[in-house]
A and B are shown apart, each in its own frame.
Chain A
Amino acid sequence: MRKASLSPAARRRRAGLAWLSVAGLAGLAFWASAGVAQDSAAPDDEKTGGDTTVFATGHNAFSFPLANLPDEERTRFVIGNSFFKRNWVQAPSSTTARDGLGPHFIARSCGGCHVQDGRGAPPDFTRGLSEQPVGLLLRLSIPGKDAHGGPRPDPVYGDQFSNFAIQGVMPEGQISLRYETVHGKFADGTPYQLQKPRYGFSKLNYGAMAKDVMLSPRVAPQMAGVGLLEAIPEAEIVRNAQEQAALDGPVRGTVNQVWDAPTQQMRVGRFGWKANVATLAHQTGGAFLGDMGITSSFFPNETCTPAQKDCLAAPRGAQGKAPEIDEKTFNDVVFYESTLAPAARRNPGDAQVIQGQKLFAQAQCAACHRPSYVTGDIPFPRLGSKAAQGQTIWPYSDLLLHDMGEGLADGRPDFLANGRQWRTPPLWGLGLVPDVNGHNRLLHDGRARGALEAVLWHDGEAKASKDKVLQMNAKERAALVKFLESL
Chain B
Amino acid sequence: MTPALKPVLIASLLALLAAPAMAQPAAAAPAAQATTAMAAVSAPAVAKHYAQLVQASYEDTLAGALTLQKAVQSFVAAPSDEGLKAARKAWLDAREFYGQTEAFRFYGGPIDDKNGPEGRINAWPMDESYVDYVKDAPDAGIINKRKTAISKKQLASLNERNGEENIATGWHAIEFLLWGQDLSTTGPGNRSFEDFVDGKKPNADRRRQYLQVVTELLVDDLRGLSKAWAPTATSYRAKFERGGMESVRKMFVGLGSLSRGELAGERLEVALASQDQEDEHSCFSDNTHRDVVANAKGIQNVWLGEYKRADGSTLTGASLRDLVAAKNPALADRTSQQIAASVAAAEGIQAPFDREIVGAKDAPGRLRVQKTIDSLVQQSKDLVEAANAAGITKLTLVKPK
Contact = CB atoms under 8 A, between A and B. Distances in A.
A434 interface: yes
B400 interface: yes
Given A58-B107, A59-B114, A85 B269 contact: no
Nearest to A80: B270
B119 A86 contact: no
A86 B119 CA distance: 16
A108 interface: yes
A107 B162 contact: yes
Contacts of B135: 94
B253 interface: yes
Contacts of A94: 135-136
Nearest to A93: B136
Interface in A84-122: 85-87, 93-95, 97, 107-109, 111-112, 115-116
A69 interface: yes
Contacts of B400: 68-71, 387
Contacts of B194: none
A51 B164 CA distance: 29
Residue among A56, A70, A87 facing the most chain B CB atoms (10 A cut-off)? A87
A115 B261 contact: no
A93 B136 CA distance: 9
A81 B108 contact: no
Nearest to B109: A58
A78 B261 contact: yes
A57 B395 contact: no
A21 interface: no
10 contacts: A55-B395, A59-B108, A60-B105, A68-B400, A75-B269, A85-B165, A87-B127, A108-B165, A111-B165, A344-B394
Contacts of A435: 108, 113-114
Contacts of A109: 163-165
B160 interface: yes
Nearest to B394: A55
B166 A87 contact: yes
A402 B253 CA distance: 40
B273 interface: yes
B257 interface: yes
B295 to A, nearest CB: 15
Contacts of A56: 106-108, 253, 396
Main secondary structure of the interface of B (DSSP, over half): loop
Interface string A429-459: 0000011101000000000000000000000
Interface stretch (B15-23, B50-58, B274-282): B274-282
Nearest to A435: B114
A54 B396 contact: yes
A34 interface: no
Contacts of A323: none
Interface in B137-169: 157, 160, 162-166
B265 interface: yes
Interface residues on A, range: 35 or more
A55 B112 contact: no
A387 B118 CA distance: 30
B119 A108 contact: no
B261 A74 contact: yes
Nearest to A52: B398
Interface in A46-76: 51, 54-61, 64-65, 67-71, 74-75
Given A86-B125, A111-B165, 7 more contacts: A55-B394, A56-B107, A60-B112, A64-B396, A74-B261, A107-B163, A116-B164
Contacts of B401: 51, 68
A134 interface: yes
Interface in B364-401: 377, 381, 394-401
**8 smallest beta-carbon distances between A and B, as pairs:** A58-B108, A78-B265, A55-B394, A111-B164, A57-B108, A85-B164, A112-B163, A59-B112
A79 interface: yes
Given A51-B401, A64-B257, A134 B119 contact: no
B113 A58 contact: yes
Contacts of A59: 108, 112-114, 116, 118-119
Contacts of A71: 260, 377, 381, 400
B198 interface: no
B249 to A, nearest CB: 8
Contacts of B112: 58-60
Given A67-B397, A74-B261, A86 B108 contact: no
Nearest to B105: A60
Contacts of A422: none
B257 A74 contact: no
Nearest to B399: A68
B273 A79 contact: yes
Contacts of A58: 106-109, 112-114, 116
Contacts of B260: 71, 74
A218 B276 CA distance: 35
A77 interface: yes
Given A60-B106, A65-B261, A112 B266 contact: no
B163 A82 contact: no
A97 B273 CA distance: 13
Contacts of B160: 115
Contacts of B279: 82
Contacts of B125: 86
A134 B381 CA distance: 39
A70 B105 CA distance: 23
A203 B157 CA distance: 26
A3 B206 CA distance: 49
A344 B107 CA distance: 13
A81 B165 contact: no
B274 A82 contact: yes
A55 B162 contact: no
Nearest to A438: B114
Contacts of A78: 261, 265-266, 269-270
A436 B112 CA distance: 9
A127 interface: yes
Interface string B272-294: 01101011000000000000000
Residue among B108, B157, B164, B260 facing the most chain A CB atoms (10 A cut-off)? B164
Contact of A55 (B109, B377, B396): B396
B102 to A, nearest CB: 12
Given A58-B116, A71-B377, A64 B108 contact: no
Given A59-B114, A59-B118, A79 B270 contact: yes
Nearest to B166: A87
Contact of A51 (B105, B109, B274, B398): B398
A391 to B, nearest CB: 11
